[in-house]
Chains A and B, each alone.
Chain A
Amino acid sequence: MNTPGVLNGTLVESSSQMLQSIVLISPQIAVLLTAVGALVFEMLRLPKVSLPFTVIGLLVATFLATQLVGANATAFEGTYLVDDLSVWAVILLSPTTALTAVLARQEVRDTDREGTVYSLLCFATVGALVLAGAGDVMFLVLGVLLSSLATFALVAYPRDDRATEAAMKYFVFGSVTGAVMIFGLTYWFGVAGSTFLSAMERLGSAPLAAGFGFVAVLIGLGYKASFVPFHFWAPDAYDGGPVSVAAFLSIVPKVGAIFALVQVVRYLPADATAWPLVIAGLAALTMTYGNLAALVQDNVVRLLAYSSIAQSGYFLLGVVAIDQSGLAIRSLILFTAAYAAMNLGAFAIVLSVGRDLRSFTGFGRTNPAAGAAMVIFLISLVGIPPLAGFVGKFLLFGAAIDAGFTWLAVIAILNSVLSLGVYLRLIVPMYQRPKEPTTLSRTTTAVWTIALFFTLAVGVGAQVLLGSIG
């Protein structure tokens, strides 16, 4: 006689859990609904409505996420984590996506299927957000696939030879690395007997399988985050597609993949896989290679592509320190904020000025304000105080040193100096004799102004942000 009651009880319990889960992932759901809505408006032949809807939807998601700051919970029976990383991923990445959508309008205005671009941007963002909170290997796979599929289409959007070739490379690379990752994850599942990332603590008993799986995950996520040597697609994809898509690729999927890597290594037994050392080596390689390759680029989009590869190396400093340093999470979140602002600002200006390094000749003289903003974005990327990039990098260095990776911090500092050379190649011609004046559209100006505000505010007001991360 009791059975129905018990059954009823668990049902009530599980449905309230379900409700709670939905509240916890309401920001992600908002982004998903935005993606769907943008597509619906496109299908209704209302592309003009599509963009405002996207922007508003993403801002709603941001607002919902701000209500969850400080939460430390799991949704859907522990498979999705609602912690600092996943909440701040929404707060930082949703507005970034909104701004890239605004930028994209300049490049895709009045083309067929304009609204699908906004929709795809949102779908890719959902993928990144899923990655950032992954508590289960299936979420890793889902996140990588979701963000990859959407971004393949975005790169191919112009449908010319270059874009098609770039998207093809991106796709082939993505499917191979994705397959390798899934293959490796089956070993983890075999050993741990569970798909929960938290169960991966058990991997210590089988170092070989643990190491194999780790390499596979590193390949899958490393491709998304463009770590060297999984970066080959990045410069071609950035340069082949629209510049606004390059801006998006350089920030949103990358941050999602890096946060996912944090969620993975958190539970990984360090002695079985030596992951801190592996990631430290990867960081050094990525930073150095990215900067050296950027040094010889004549195409500004490719230059920024290699520079963003180098920047992912800096992110890894925070990942290395995740177990040993209390600074690590905060440094990652702060650097994400800094990186999103300064990189988006730089791409916004490149979008209007042109891809060729020569088109920047005299830009600082003909457009003093935008020129100064570009200089600030670039020197913030170098990491010069008091700008956002400095604070972000500085915290990352501090976290790495805390964790006993002083040598890595020194390499990172040397790389910062090297990167100054990279960005000076862009800054110096900006103040040579101008060829012809460049006019920036109002959209671009609005976007770089917002990016500039955050590049300065995150730097000067770092303490405020650090305080709210907790």
Chain B
Amino acid sequence: MFPLVSVTLFLPLLGAVLLVALPGISTRGAHAVGLVASGLTLLGAAGMWARGAGAGFTQVEEVSWIPSLGAAYRVGVDGISLPLVFLTVVLFFVSFVFSVKVTERARSYVALFLLLETASLGVFVALDAILFYVFFEVTLVAMYFIIADWGHEGRQRAALTFFLYTLLGSLPLLLAILGLYLGSDPRTFDMRAFIDSPPLTGLAAMLAFVAMFVTFAVKTPIFPVHTWLPAAHVEAPTAGSVILAGVMLKLGTYGLIRFALQMTPDAFRAAAPYVAAIAVFTALYGAFVALGQTDLKRLIAYTSVNHMGYVVLGVAVAAAATDAGVRALALDGAVLQMVSHGVVTGALFLLVGMLQDRTHTRDMGEMGGLLRIVPVLGWLFILAAFASLGLPGLAHFPAEFQIFLGTLQVYPIAVVAVLGIVVTAGLYLRAIQIAFLGKPSERWREMKDLSGREILSIVPLAALTVLIGVAPFLLLDVIHRATEAIGL
């Protein structure tokens, strides 16, 4: 069978290699390579979607590497990873469309984004723990250079904080993988074997769980290890923020499900009340801190903390649930929330980037009345903001609804996290009021509305926001097939 997953996975890398091999390529040429490579990747992912995902892992491709050590190249997808693959390719494609205006060292810029795309896809499709870890680390390197080279004012510091944080953060995962490897019999790095028969028990499993939780908590991020996020988001170039929020935060929660939940289920169950408590606190904390922001980018960054808190809550509920139906419900919600957050926050960061390109500020206090001057941008922002605050009919609602429904049956008290939705509603309405409503300022009278490039990059995300809101079953059917098969 045609190795569709591997081809899709390495297409962006091929583009990056091509760019490295062509030092004299023009800016336009570099962007063309980026668009073609990510476009073909999008097609590949569509093909993967068409092939579908069943209960377990399908579309598995395997090449042995060091059989005597149980290490191999193994990729494949299930109902949890396939929607995230889809999210990744869409967000990268729109980022490339949006980035066409970048002229400063475009060749390196595009090459790094392509490298990042392969690495991100690799995390989602890897079925070998070593492979997973490598891709997990490569995302870090690529993102470091993107922030450090194309970011805003305080980029060097932000990039370094991000790098050190997540590098030290991923070390415990390595130890956990080693533990899983040593516990497996026969020894292997096959993630499917880890999932089918969790190799560790008792204290060892708890230690491995804590190690994995630390790693993924940094990436997600969860209070109190979230402090790298606001700086990295604010300083990153627009497309970098889109990928950081839309894709890279998902690496944390995906790992939480794939590793912590599936490979050390008993330990996770024992720790679930604590994880749920941290998640609720993170969600509320993110919402309240976002309320205090005037910098639009920082505001959206903190709402990400809030939304990712809900995802973690959903996973913790799934770990604690004794009833298979409730577990599947909470996990469905968590996975859908990852996709929704990627689409909606991606759109919000793009729109803020467009605003910043025009006003050269991110401070919403300096804006005002923009809806009249740039109606298309304004209405799209309002749509995305409403989606982000959880309005029914838009992407976040079905996801958060399922998470809370599951939570209610396992930890009724944790439903206080709903308070976060009220706060986010307040802060978005306030932001819309300050930046877009009221009397237009003279300063922005000449501002132009969205260009064709900008419309092309934002429309797919806006359309998906509505589509997921009105027809969540398109994704949930796929997700549910995997989540209902997870027997812990």
Contacts and interface: CB of A to CB of B under 8 A. Distances in A.
Interface of A: 327, 368, 372, 384-386, 391, 394-395, 398, 401, 406, 409-410, 413-414, 417, 420, 431, 460, 462-463, 466
Contact of B134 (A385, A420, A460, A463): A385
B66 to A, nearest CB: 5
Contact of A413 (B64, B68, B137, B178): B178
A385 B134 CA distance: 7
Contacts of A463: 64-68
Given A385-B134, A462-B65, A463-B65, A372 B20 contact: yes
Contact of B68 (A368, A386, A406, A466): A466
Interface residues of B, number: 21
Contacts of A391: 66
Interface stretch (B167-175, B335-343, B470-478): B167-175
A413 B174 contact: yes
B485 interface: no
B167 A386 contact: no
Contact of A417 (B20, B64, B66, B171): B171
A60 to B, nearest CB: 32
B66 A462 contact: yes
B69 A384 contact: no
B137 A384 contact: yes
Nearest to B134: A385
A391 B167 CA distance: 21
Contacts of B137: 384
B186 interface: no
B439 to A, nearest CB: 45
Q: Is the interface of B mostly helix, strand, loop or mixed?
A: helix
Interface in B173-228: 174-175, 178, 182
A466 B178 contact: no
A406 B182 CA distance: 10
Interface string B119-133: 000000000001100
Contact of A368 (B23, B130, B149, B182): B23
B49 interface: no
A308 to B, nearest CB: 24
B69 A394 contact: yes
A466 B174 contact: no
B401 interface: no
22 contacts: A327-B68, A368-B20, A372-B20, A384-B134, A385-B71, A385-B130, A385-B131, A385-B134, A386-B65, A386-B134, A394-B71, A398-B69, A401-B182, A409-B178, A413-B175, A414-B171, A417-B167, A417-B171, A431-B149, A462-B65, A463-B66, A466-B68
Given A413-B174, A413-B178, A395 B145 contact: no
Contacts of B130: 385
The 9 closest A-B pairs by CB, nearest first: A462-B66, A385-B134, A417-B171, A385-B130, A463-B66, A368-B20, A398-B69, A368-B23, A413-B174
A465 to B, nearest CB: 10
A386 B69 CA distance: 14
A15 to B, nearest CB: 43
Nearest to A431: B145
A409 B174 CA distance: 12
B175 A410 contact: yes
Interface in B90-137: 130-131, 134, 137
Contacts of B167: 417, 420
Contacts of A406: 182
Nearest to A461: B65
A417 B171 CA distance: 8
Nearest to B73: A386
Nearest to B168: A417
A420 B163 CA distance: 12
Contacts of B71: 385, 394
